[in-house]
Amino acid sequence: MTVSSETRGLAVVTGASTGIGAATARELAGRGYHVLAGVRRDRDADAIRGPGLEPVILDITHPDHIEALAARVHEDSQGRPVRVLVNNAAVQANLPIEVFAIEEWRRMFEVNLFGQIAVTQALLPALIRSKGRVVNISSVGGRVAMATYGPYAATKFALEAVSDSLRRELAPFGVEVVVVQPGAVRTEMLGRAIAAAGDLPAMTSEQGQRYSGLVRAINNQAVSSTNAGLPAEAAAKVIARAVTARRPRTRYSVGREAALVHVVRFLPDRMLDRILAAALRPHSAVTT
Catalytically annotated residues: 152
* Measured distance CA(91)–CA(33) in Å, rounded: 26
Describe the chain by its helix, strand, coil percentages, rounded to 5.
55, 15, 30
β-pairing, 133-137 with 82-87? parallel
CA atoms within 13 A on the CB side of 219: 21
Task: Give, in degrees to the nearest 5, the angle at Cα 149 between 144 and 155.
Answer: 75
CB 85 within 8 A of CB 123: yes
**Residue 74: enclosing H or E segment and its boundaries?**
helix 63-74
Extract the runs of DSSP E, i.e. beta strands, from the chain: 10-13, 34-39, 53-57, 82-87, 133-137, 176-182, 185-186, 230-231, 251-254
3-state secondary structure of 237: helix
